């Protein structure tokens, strides 16, 4: 699929003690919802912080819209949600409205109030630090969606939300992209893609600070297959083939199951197996298992 | 200006404190000074009170933000106007402090057309049989204001960056000792030299404010960069 890129990353490197985020090349397509998937500590938040401009000590190149926007215009066009110290702890919903109107030219206070109503943010005079995690995220999302932006960078937006609100968030993201007619994009990070799978167009799997897989979801579902089979008699050979071929292969008394690339399926010829189209969640788990250091 | 004030108020951590800081405390202290007859001795009671209140406000309002630890408020830092917003809040605080001090210390001076040393009516201070001080010029109060604000800015900057309670207290006490030692100095300055002394004091205060402002803004910019790696 020919697409333009909203974000282009080349030779990005950010070092910490005992960890390095190193992305050689990554292009986030414009006009789609991209999921940045990885286990805890994979580097997702660090990467999003760099894109949002709140971390500037990195090496490499990060370009937005082919470098056509100035810094001020770029920051106005990006809506970012974070997970750390996002607002001042004592700010109320009203304070967020006041500050947002000053910090961002494109903030609409009427839209913000409507979003607060729609998301049922009830405790409007309570300090932000005293809100539940779900209410905090709803307030943050209201502030971001109340602006006219072209790119949303959402760091773990679904984690603190209940299932109903996650579904609503997916709807908001889809509506945001549809309204943009190909000019609005969303990049969100998650460590639980199952909740956001129905809104994901493009997936980037990051593990140990490196991009290990990326692609449009439909392409990834053609690239990988889910294989289930029985061990049967002489199962040593079957087990050996499964372990060598499948990502994240699991065995039980009944058989085996795992992810493999579609072009490797011929290795299971003459075996009694079932081949299914994997979900994005299964693809992510299988790929992450291949690269994880978890035992 | 309006946005700077609105933003400044959102940085004040409680609902009640903005009213106390901006309205109640300056008015109450000013009335106290006026109703006491405009005597200088009340000025010397007011001076330490204002000093301690301002240090307390500095700790309450800005300690977390201006501390050595990199507390990053992501919403502000993700905006292109973030640094400017933070700078405008700092300036609003400095200006608020200056206006408060001006009101508190100059209102009695203007009200009574000058300040008195103490007691009833005007008192002449004699040293070695010579008349030293008769009436005290309001310019002396301006000197007190600039000295007080200079010490508040310096000590305030230090204590916001210190974590140890003992060191905070030590810094505050040292500042108070400096203020007390300075206390009567303005009144020993000959009248002809007072305007020049006020100008010099104002320049020193401005220099301190500029240096501290730059230091805090530099520290704020450093929050975009990690201390690790």
This model of the complex carries an ipTM of 0.85
Which of A15, A71, A87 lies nearest to residue B80, judging by beta carbons? A71
CATH of domain A220-291: 3.30.70
With bands split at pLDDT 50, 70 and 90, how would you rate the model's confidence at A189? very high
Mutate to test the interface with B, among A51, A58, A85 (most CBs of B within 10 A): A85
pTM: 0.86
Q: How confident is the model at residue B123 (pLDDT cuts 50, 70, 90)?
A: very low
Distance separating alpha carbons of residues A293 and B18, to the nearest angstrom: 52
pLDDT in tens, A43-101: 999 999 999 998 898 999 999 998 888 999 999 999 999 887 899 888 999 999 999 99
Mean pLDDT of A206-214: 93
Could you say which architecture CATH assigns to the domain A5-208? 3-Layer(aba) Sandwich (3.40)
Residue-wise pLDDT for B62-97, tens only, equals 766 666 665 678 899 999 999 999 899 999 999 999
Residues of chain A with CATH 3.40.50.300: 5-208
Count CB pairs under 8 A between chains A and B: 83
Tell me the nearest-neighbour CA distance from A105 into chain B, angstroms.
10
A71-97 b/e with 16+ CB inside 10 Å = b? eeebbbbbbbbbbebbbbebbbbebbb
Portion of chain A with pLDDT greater than 70, in percent: 97
Identify the pLDDT of residue B189.
72
Across the beta sheet with A78-81, what order do the strands follow? A78-81, A151-155, A185-190, A33-37, A202-207, A210-216
Residue range(s) of every CATH 3.30.70 domain in chain A:
220-291
Q: Calculate the alpha carbon distances from A262 to A207, A215, A234, A266, B221 in Å.
A: 22, 15, 25, 9, 50
User: Which chain A residues have a beta carbon less than 8 Å from that of B229?
Assistant: 14-17, 57
> Which of the four pLDDT bands, split at 50, 70 and 90, describes residue A235?
low
The residues, ordered by sequence, that sit 6+ positions from A115 with a Cβ below 8 Å of its Cβ are A141, A142, A145, A146
Interface of B with A (CB under 8 A): 3, 6-7, 10-11, 13-14, 71-82, 85, 224-226, 228-229
- Asked if B78 and A71 come within 8 Å (Cβ–Cβ), the reply is no
């Amino acid at each position: 699929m020919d697409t333009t890129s909203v974000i282009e990353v080349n030779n990005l490197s950010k070092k910490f003690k005992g960890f390095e985020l190193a992305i050689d090349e990554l292009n986030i397509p414009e006009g789609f919802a991209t999921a940045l998937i990885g286990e805890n500590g994979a580097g997702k938040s660090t990467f999003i912080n760099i894109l949002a401009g709140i971390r500037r000590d990195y090496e490499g190149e990060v370009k937005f819209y082919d470098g056509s926007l100035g810094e001020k215009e770029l920051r106005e066009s990006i809506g970012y949600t974070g997970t750390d110290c996002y607002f001042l702890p004592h700010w109320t919903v009203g304070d967020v409205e006041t500050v947002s109107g000053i910090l961002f030219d494109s903030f609409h206070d009427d839209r913000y109030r409507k979003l607060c109503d729609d998301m049922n943010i009830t405790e409007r005079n309570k300090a932000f630090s005293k809100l539940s995690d779900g209410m905090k995220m709803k307030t943050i999302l209201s502030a971001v969606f109340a602006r006219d932006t072209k790119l949303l960078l959402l760091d773990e937006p679904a984690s603190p939300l209940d299932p109903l609100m996650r579904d609503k968030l997916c709807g908001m993201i889809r509506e945001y992209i549809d309204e943009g007619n190909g000019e609005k994009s969303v990049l969100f990070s998650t460590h639980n893609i199952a909740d956001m799978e129905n809104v994901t167009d493009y997936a980037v799997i990051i593990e140990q600070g490196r991009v290990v897989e990326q692609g449009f979801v439909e392409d990834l579902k053609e690239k990988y297959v889910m294989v289930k089979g029985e061990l049967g008699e002489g199962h040593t050979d079957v087990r050996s083939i499964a372990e060598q071929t499948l990502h994240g292969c699991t065995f039980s008394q009944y058989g085996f199951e795992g992810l493999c690339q579609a072009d490797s399926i011929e290795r299971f010829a003459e075996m009694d197996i079932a081949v299914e189209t994997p979900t994005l969640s299964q693809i992510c788990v299988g790929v992450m298992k291949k690269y994880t250091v978890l035992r | 200006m309006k946005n700077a004030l609105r933003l400044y108020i959102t940085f004040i951590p409680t609902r009640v404190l903005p009213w106390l800081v901006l309205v109640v405390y300056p008015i109450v202290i000013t009335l106290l000074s006026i109703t006491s007859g405009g005597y200088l001795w009340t000025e010397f009671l007011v001076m330490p009170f204002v000093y301690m209140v301002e240090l307390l406000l500095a700790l309450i309002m800005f300690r977390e933000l201006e501390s050595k630890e990199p507390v990053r408020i992501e919403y502000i830092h993700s905006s292109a106007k973030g640094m400017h917003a933070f700078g405008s809040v700092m300036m609003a605080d400095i200006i608020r402090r200056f206006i408060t001090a001006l009101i508190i210390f100059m209102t009695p001076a203007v009200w009574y057309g000058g300040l008195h040393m103490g007691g009833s009516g005007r008192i002449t201070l004699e040293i070695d049989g010579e008349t030293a001080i008769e009436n005290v010029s309001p310019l002396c109060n301006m000197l007190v204001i600039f000295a007080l604000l200079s010490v508040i800015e310096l000590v305030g900057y230090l204590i916001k960056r210190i974590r140890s309670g003992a060191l905070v207290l030590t810094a505050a006490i040292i500042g108070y000792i400096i203020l007390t030692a300075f206390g009567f100095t303005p009144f020993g300055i000959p009248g002809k030299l007072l305007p020049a002394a006020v100008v010099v004091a104002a320049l020193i205060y401005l220099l301190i404010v500029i240096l501290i402002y730059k230091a805090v803004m530099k520290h704020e910019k450093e929050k975009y960069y990690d201390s690790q790696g």
